[in-house]
Amino acid sequence: MKQLIQYFRTGKLELIDAPVPKATAQNIVIASKRSLISVGTEKMLLDFGKASYLSKAKQQPDRVKQVIDKIKTEGLITTAHSVWSKLNEPVHLGYSNVGQILEAGSQVKGYEKGQRVVSNGPHAEVVRVPWTLTASVPENVADDEAAFTVPGAICLEGVRLLDPALGETIVVVGLGLLGQITAQILTANGCRVLAFDIAGEKVEFARQQGIEAALSGSIAENVEFVLGATDGIGADGVIITASASSEELLSQCALMSRKRGRIVLIGVIPITVPRNLFYEKELTFQVSSAYGPGRYDPVYEGGNDYPLPYVRWTAKRNMEAFLFLLQQKKINVNQLITHRFPFDRAIQAYETIEKENPLGIILEYKVSEELPKILDFAGLSASKATTVDNLRIGFIGVGNFAKAVLLPSLKKLKAPVRMIASSDGLSAGVAAKKFGIPQATSDRELVLENSEINTVFIATRHDSHASLVIKALENDKHVFVEKPLALNFEELKQVYDKKQEKPHLRLMVGFNRRFSPFSQKLKKTVQQRSDPISIIITVNAGYIPMDHWVHDLRMGGGRIIGEGCHFVDLARFLVGYPISEVGAITTRGHSGTDEDKMMILLTFEDGSQASVNYLANGNPRFPKERVEVFSSQRVFQIDNFKRLTSYGSPLKEVSLKQDKGHLAEIKSFLESIKNGTETPIPIQELFEVSLATLAIKQAVGERRFVSMKSIWNEFVL
């Protein structure tokens, strides 16, 4: 299928080939019939993409600060690589789509194949969306009309926040697509509507629809127009649908409002609230977020609707309400269509935005009934792909880490990746093109069941790791899985039992820090000792918002299981002996979570000890990771994997960039397959570290040290 994307670094648009997305449990896959280009919003994206680096930086000062902090802690080269990767990542365009359902997920209720629906899907021949961001289209609403539903819901949410009463006078500032729809909704609500815009043709268009519109002039002229139309009272409410850089616009809205008036922002303007005006008139101001409650909430967008008695108008229900207005002919959007293009000419449609001043641009689709699940690139089929020794690799999951670290490493090593899979299809297609992978798919099962593939890399969300590892082993494939190996004892036991059945297959977990050159050199130095060693690992983990999936115990397992396992493994590697006991404490009564402010204690069979301080309440300017080892009157320190220093020893190492061992880790794993040698991390250690990480949570809950021997005895039964 074809999908429209934009590269943020250059602003270039491209119609890219991508595999058809696969429906997951709470999602719907839709064959597009129409989509609407929201001119104002999408022009902002175009302008941002085409802007210079300096201009981009000025528009995102918070991001610039993050980059500066990253340079201070991780170095210029590492930061530059990270920023460059982000800028080179394409994004999809569009958010208002109408089409027919091809496939509904197993937990989706109330929808069936062939049903006509609207969604917030992008400009693509086939889209995948959560069912909570879709709505069924009434029979008497045409596809062209339905394509306006999502912008209509945005306008409707802004009107709901303003809460206008019958007979009130409302001002609409900005008569682009959103402004025109907002004015119609307000009129249907029984309001008197006054409106402004800087474009004469848009003002004239609004007047033809019965709106009292005026060409925007000076602040004094605009205020005088409103006061004159309201007998000096002022507007009951103002809705701002414009996108502007002027800091005076909010002051203007305040001046034209009556005492205790209301102002709602739908568009994009600088928010500099004029306190005196707001104070004197007791004005209220609110920013409207997209198309209603639920948008940008990962729980809602994950398919969990808000109960209607408590949240009457969610994003989905606002979409349904706008469709009702269309059905009842209370809103006329056909007159807003100024251009239409077939989808294969979508790039020309965007050129129209640059050259003209359109309102609504419709893209029309003709989707073939034959939608292959596997997409071949550059005419190179997997069967013709080069095989390096006995390696034939499949890759599952195309998240940020995969794109920034794993895939570039495989490419650098010239590893023969034959097929890549991501459920959305697009990210797999983009990655296949970028990294020279012959085939892309949205169905991970096709990778797991492909008899030509003998090695699988798994870089999906944490909750799928264990099941995918088991399936890969069942299909006689070597496995590299990003940490963690499993989220609980039951999953880990299932993986362990399956690996026992497949002793000839290699299983590797992405514990990369032990492969860093700093860790390797330190290990060689401290293993020549007569006494136990003491290790202090400090992790300035950084704050992650509580709505991030990593905090969800079912999806991410929490930050200790999801990331803390790295440092348990590093301590295990440096000591070189099995872990005997695990203990841990956290802060108490934190407003978010206490789990990511944890101090972990490990004891080892040789008498060594390790402390892992995993703390999310630090400052980003402090180094993220520091490792200190005390051994035989010597002290060694690894600082953020850029520098190794020592006291009482000549050992030292300095690097211009971070090296956390990712490349060496992958190289070692691939060589073990090619050479028929043991997995670089012994299997017993992989499961020991995973068990110890799981035991940390038990230690916190029971507030005691947990014996690894007792856990092992229970685990292997």
d(CA 330, CA 707): 70
Query: Looking up tokens 């003209």, which residue turns up?
Result: 356
Burial state string for 2-25 with b = 16 or more CB within 10 A and e = fewer than 16: bbbbbebbeeebebbbbbbbbbbe
**Phi, psi (5° rounding) for residue 121?**
-65, 155
Of all helices (H) and strands (E), which one includes residue 631?
strand 625-631
pLDDT for position 715: 83
Contact indicator for 116, 147 with CB cutoff of 8 Å: no
pTM for the structure as a whole: 0.86
Report, at the CATH architecture level, how domain 2-146+297-364 is classified. Answer: Alpha-Beta Complex (3.90)
Contact indicator for 633, 50 with CB cutoff of 8 Å: no
| Tokens coding 115 | 């049903």
Longest Cα pair distance anywhere in the chain, in angstroms?
A: 93
Work out the burial of residue 284: count CB atoms within 10 Å of its CB; fewer than 13 is exposed, 13-18 middle, 19 or more buried.
middle
Bridge-based pairing of strands 235-240 and 212-215 is: unpaired
pLDDT for position 371: 74
Number of H helices, E strands in the chain: 26, 32
Burial state string for 600-637 with b = 16 or more CB within 10 A and e = fewer than 16: bbbbbeeebbbbbbbbbebeeeebbbbbebbbeebebb
Bridge-based pairing of strands 507-509 and 478-481 is: parallel
Contact indicator for 23, 104 with CB cutoff of 8 Å: yes
| Tokens coding 19 | 């595999």
Mean pLDDT by runs of 10 across the 717 residues of the chain is 86 89 93 92 70 60 62 63 67 93 92 95 96 97 97 97 97 96 96 96 91 94 96 97 89 96 94 90 94 91 93 97 97 93 94 86 85 73 54 96 96 96 93 94 96 97 97 98 96 96 97 97 92 97 89 91 97 98 91 89 98 94 94 96 95 91 97 95 96 95 93 82
Contact indicator for 23, 113 with CB cutoff of 8 Å: no
- Strand, coil or helix: 195: strand
Domain extents for the chain? Answer: 2-146+297-364, 151-287, 374-511, 513-716
Of all helices (H) and strands (E), which one includes residue 418?
strand 417-421
Contact indicator for 613, 538 with CB cutoff of 8 Å: yes
CATH fold group of domain 151-287: Rossmann fold (3.40.50)
Contact indicator for 670, 413 with CB cutoff of 8 Å: yes
Q: Where are the beta strands (DSSP E) in 198-330?
A: 212-215, 235-240, 257-265, 284-287
pLDDT for position 220: 95
CATH fold group of domain 513-716: Dihydrodipicolinate Reductase; domain 2 (3.30.360)
d(CA 265, CA 275): 17
Domains 374-511 and 513-716 share a fold: no
Q: Which residues contact 84 (CB under 8 A, 6 or more apart)?
A: none
Contact indicator for 443, 419 with CB cutoff of 8 Å: no
d(CA 135, CA 318): 9
Contact indicator for 244, 250 with CB cutoff of 8 Å: no
Domain at 374-511: CATH code: 3.40.50.720
d(CA 476, CA 465): 17
Contact indicator for 242, 172 with CB cutoff of 8 Å: no
Neighbours of 578 (CB within 10 A): 16
